[in-house]
Chains A and B, each alone.
Chain A
Amino acid sequence: MKEKHPGTVDVLVIGGGNAALCAALMAREAGASVLLLEAAPREWRGGNSSHTRNLRCMHDAPQDVLTERYPEEEFWQDLLKVTGGMTNEKLARLAIRESSSCRDWMRKHGVNFQPSLSGTLHLSRTNAFFMGGGKALVNAYYRSAEALGVRIRYEAPVDRIELENGVFRAAWVGDERIAARACVMAAGGFESNREWLREAWGQNENGEWPADNFAIRGTRFNRGVLLKAMIDAGADMIGDPSQSHCVAIDARAPLYDGGICTRIDCVSLGIVVNKHAERFYDEGEDFWPKRYAIWGRLVAQQPGQIGFSIIDAKANGRFMPPVFPGAKADTLEELARQLGIDEAAFVRTVREYNAACHVGTFDHTVQDDCHTEGLSPAKTHWALPIDTPPFRGYALKPGITFTYLGLKVNEQAAVHFSDVPSPNLFVAGEMMAGNVLGKGYTAGVGMTIGTTFGRIAGAHAAAAARQGESHAIA
């Protein structure tokens, strides 16, 4: 056993993304000595936070980069809608209210905000964008933490937690024992643990293991080691391991860290077929920003976990430019050949769709009257025939953003064992987001939860460390 850091640290923070950094900064500001353990090497630090771009914020009047108002009740109703009620109102409202006041603190630690990016006008009211995105935010927090004297160790993945009747004693990195008076866990979900994903998604009726074909949109370091350790330690859990934020991304996306740019945003402008060249869902059900998060699961349920988004020349340029060029052909047959799907079946599907289109007045900014009739599944809006070459096709596969399984918490972000809160073990970020966001998603809410509960966990960990110390002296 090595004792690398003699003396017990007040607050140990496990993790290196937004929630962990917020916790570390708050604990340090409260006067605690803080050690932060990031599993990744420095160049990959920050976890999924490096891929984020904004924070959903409540505000009662226009505020610097935020337009109009987004009151607590509306935010809460949005959350209620996307989660279908799988949320804890008390904790959700806590996060919502915190989101209205945390930005000055964020600025103090070097985070810069900017108005919503081009192509995201619909978020200008509700979401404050980080200038440069999440990695710029992560960099700012690390700089601030270092300046304040938070000790940071990279490549320090925690394997297990030493507990004594629900009280945190130490964390283990390999054979090194790191003791602390209090601890905040903010080490992310388990989305990059392929085996766990495989087990959670199981085997389908075709004998496939769907999760084997998923890409992970974020960090490769969220392996869920602490989540598993806490399950084994008997902590109270929340959420379903098979639930995850899952979107349809370009099938050529890298296995990890593809981030935002691998999204394919032309689904509602054309049709989507599976590998048998059959349509399987209403592509025009609702505006794309409200529907993109269901398409990962839809594609995951198709054979081979693959889909093909098909558009014609009329759609080109009406959506965010994709990161990879699509297959491009002047005939449907050639496009099918390039995509590796059955030509005859594909041409038949497109012809049936084209014949069923009732074209009214196309308008992508409203739920227009262009729809199909007598087709199953129907396309209920933006249905224009696919008839103008060049045709383009993009292969889609499911991309996991994060998982929902987490640790149950109270308003102090304390970990619970059989409904009893731990006096000195706290949790923040993806590891507990499921308390507020049991399923579904709305842009920027992950950062709202991470920031709020990171700050709460940090403050309470510092208080717990002080208390532990005075008990020890007494």
Chain B
Amino acid sequence: MQSLEALAREATDLAAGRNLPALNADEAEVGRILQICNACRYCEGFCAVFPAMTRRLAFDKADVHYLANLCHNCGACLHACQYAPPHEFAVNVPQAMATVRARTYSDFAWPAGFGKLYRNNGITVALAVAGGLALFLVLALMVQGTLFHTPLAGNFYAIFPHNLLVSMFAPVFLFAALALGIGVARFWREAAPGAASGAAIAETTHDVLRLTYLDGGHGQGCNNADDAFTLARRRYHHLTFYGFMLCFAATSVATLYHYVFGWEAPYAFTSLPVVLGTLGGIGLLIGPAGLFWLNLKRHPEHGDAAQKPMDRGFIALLFFTSLTGLALLAGRDTPAMGLLLAVHLGVVMGLFLTMPYGKFAHGFYRSAALLKWAIEKRRPNPVGVGNDG
């Protein structure tokens, strides 16, 4: 049966002389491709995109945005596709989805004008890092007149007072969180799927933390350079993600130490913040390095080539955040600590500044799409197709 909701919506819109928002060219391409996919359905086992597709007979703007963010760009459906180029149907789901996905980040961005930063994102990241570096190097010079100093036994605050750092990073971080939150909320509201049950939230958490949809549906992984499956992308993502979370945990623990217990940095190499930060830093070196290597080897028809600067810019930011952090740890008892600290803080500032306007956003939009799916799949299927040969 045709989706009753869709029929009702069509009827209401017609009666009100209202039209659904027109699809732009990239969204129309997703719609065209999904019409073919919906008549084929061979890829249903790979991921959530195709089961979500079969709950629809037509694809409006909100459907396209949702499915584009549900797509993990794993590449499995491209290599398996009997209609992929050079077939005249030219079906390339991951590429069409990636193109729309980047547009959603930019269209939902807050403040609206900042959405442009997603385009030419390589330049955005470069400028943010250059600005961050310049800021802290100049600050360091202003504070002590030179970038080198007598060893300070790792006492960062002798160079940049704690309160100065908090007053610089806290607003930037909070702004980043707010901007990303508003963007994702806009994406959510475009087609809200209803209330999330505990089971839906649990499933989404599982799928996000395990990156379920990079396992190919059969556990052998996704595609990267060719039609062979690899778990490398999933594992490097995990190293990156959990590395980042460990670094985040290190900062959180240190904040607790500072404010709750009054224990001030520097902390011993064996202390919890340093151990967490070191482990996280190692993950955040290997993960992004691996992702960069995979990105270089990626099949040319996967995803949207125009977004490679954004992908690589983000990968580089994470890598250098970790590298400069570990270098600072290694050199904290030397006269170069001030320089190392300024460089690290500069890179971290670049990361924070670009968080809501770069590749970092993909994790949040995709998690939201996964939650939409977990809610939607628990509802009765509005399309009752049950007749096939």
- The answer to whether A and B come from one shared complex is yes
Q: Choose one: B44, B80, B383, B387; the contact of A139 (CB below 8 Å).
A: B80
Q: Give the Cβ gap from A368 to chain B, nearest Cβ, in Å.
A: 13
For residue B39, CB closer than 8 A to chain A, the reply is: yes
Q: Is the CB of A53 within 8 A of B42?
A: yes
Q: Give the Cβ gap from A309 to chain B, nearest Cβ, in Å.
A: 13
| Interface residues contributed by chain B, number (CB under 8 Å) | 40
Docked pose: A146 CA to B82 CA in angstroms? 21
Q: Is the CB of A121 within 8 A of B42?
A: no
Q: Is the CB of A135 within 8 A of B80?
A: yes
Q: A114-B217, A317-B1, A443-B389 are in contact. Are A132 and B39 (CB under 8 A)?
A: no
**In residues 110-161 of chain A, which contact B (Cβ within 8 Å)?**
112, 114-115, 117-122, 129-136, 139, 143
Q: A112-B218, A117-B41, A323-B36 are in contact. Are A133 and B388 (CB under 8 A)?
A: no
DSSP class of B's interface residues: helix, strand, loop or mixed? loop
**In residues 25-74 of chain B, which contact A (Cβ within 8 Å)?**
35-36, 38-46, 51, 54, 57
For residue B116, CB closer than 8 A to chain A, the reply is: no
For residue A259, CB closer than 8 A to chain B, the reply is: yes
Docked pose: A122 CA to B389 CA in angstroms? 8
Q: A119-B41, A139-B227, A320-B39 are in contact. Are A265 and B79 (CB under 8 A)?
A: no
Q: Give the Cβ gap from A118 to chain B, nearest Cβ, in Å.
A: 5
Q: Is the CB of A320 within 8 A of B387?
A: yes
* A318 CB contacts on chain B under 8 angstroms: 1-2, 384-387
| Interface residues contributed by chain A, number (CB under 8 Å) | 51
Docked pose: A459 CA to B83 CA in angstroms? 33
Q: Is the CB of A260 within 8 A of B39?
A: yes
Q: Choose one: A50, A134, A289, A317; the contact of B389 (CB below 8 Å).
A: A289
Q: Give the Cβ gap from B183 to chain A, nearest Cβ, in Å.
A: 32
Q: Is the CB of A261 within 8 A of B36?
A: yes
Q: Is the CB of A118 within 8 A of B387?
A: no
For residue A56, CB closer than 8 A to chain B, the reply is: no
* B88 CB contacts on chain A under 8 angstroms: 254
Q: Choose one: B80, B82, B220, B385; the contact of A119 (CB below 8 Å).
A: B385
Q: Give the Cβ gap from A389 to chain B, nearest Cβ, in Å.
A: 12
Q: Choose one: B45, B79, B83, B89; the contact of A114 (CB below 8 Å).
A: B45
Q: Give the Cβ gap from B35 to chain A, nearest Cβ, in Å.
A: 6
For residue A292, CB closer than 8 A to chain B, the reply is: yes
Q: Is the CB of A321 within 8 A of B80?
A: no
For residue A379, CB closer than 8 A to chain B, the reply is: no
Q: Give the Cβ gap from A452 to chain B, nearest Cβ, in Å.
A: 22
* B389 CB contacts on chain A under 8 angstroms: 263, 265, 288-289, 292-293, 443
For residue A361, CB closer than 8 A to chain B, the reply is: no
Q: Give the Cβ gap from B174 to chain A, nearest Cβ, in Å.
A: 44
* B217 CB contacts on chain A under 8 angstroms: 112, 114, 131
For residue B77, CB closer than 8 A to chain A, the reply is: yes
* B87 CB contacts on chain A under 8 angstroms: 257
Q: Is the CB of A261 within 8 A of B83?
A: yes
Closest to A262 in B: B39
Docked pose: A130 CA to B42 CA in angstroms? 8
Q: A133-B80, A135-B82, A136-B79 are in contact. Are A117 and B44 (CB under 8 A)?
A: yes
Closest to A291 in B: B389
Docked pose: A287 CA to B389 CA in angstroms? 9
For residue B228, CB closer than 8 A to chain A, the reply is: yes
Other A-B contacts than A317-B2, A317-B384, 5 sampled, CB-CB below 8 A, are: A132-B80, A261-B83, A265-B388, A322-B39, A323-B40
15 contacts between A and B (CB under 8 A): A112-B217, A114-B44, A131-B217, A132-B46, A133-B82, A135-B82, A136-B42, A259-B82, A260-B42, A318-B1, A318-B2, A323-B36, A323-B40, A325-B35, A364-B386
5 A-B pairs with the lowest CB-CB distances in the bound complex, closest first: A317-B2, A133-B42, A132-B80, A114-B45, A261-B39
